[in-house]
């Protein structure tokens, strides 16, 4: 399985590839990504000091700035009737 991820995701650091093989650790990385995207889109958290960080850094362009993920967060916010608390992906800034 590690070879599969290494082949299909060559931009990921090897340490993250090891995380993706284990179910628990993969879920931990996914929760980190979810938290980071939610905080970036939330109007109350402006500035990079509010955002989580990790080392080595995840590839921002590939994963964290995905329009599909941003759309899903906005749809989730609409479902919970808190859409007004979130900026659209077009007008948010990462501070």
Taking the chain (95 residues) in consecutive chunks of 10 residues, what is each chunk's mean pLDDT? Answer: 71 77 87 88 87 80 75 92 84 55
So what's the pLDDT on residue 61?
60
So what's the pLDDT on residue 95?
47
DSSP summary character for residue 52: -
pTM of the full predicted structure? 0.73
State how far the Cα of 67 lies from the Cα of 61, in Å rounded to an integer. Answer: 11
DSSP H helices, the chain, are 2-8, 14-21, 23-41, 67-79
């Amino acid at each position: 399985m590690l070879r599969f991820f290494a082949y299909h995701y060559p931009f990921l650091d090897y340490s993250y590839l090891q995380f993706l093989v284990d179910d628990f650790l993969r879920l931990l990385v996914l929760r980190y990504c979810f938290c980071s995207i939610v905080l970036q889109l939330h109007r109350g958290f402006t500035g990079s000091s509010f955002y989580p960080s990790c080392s080595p850094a995840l590839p921002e362009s590939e994963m964290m700035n995905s329009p599909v993920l941003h759309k899903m967060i906005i749809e989730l916010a609409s479902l919970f009737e808190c859409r007004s608390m979130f900026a659209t992906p077009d007008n948010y800034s990462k501070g």
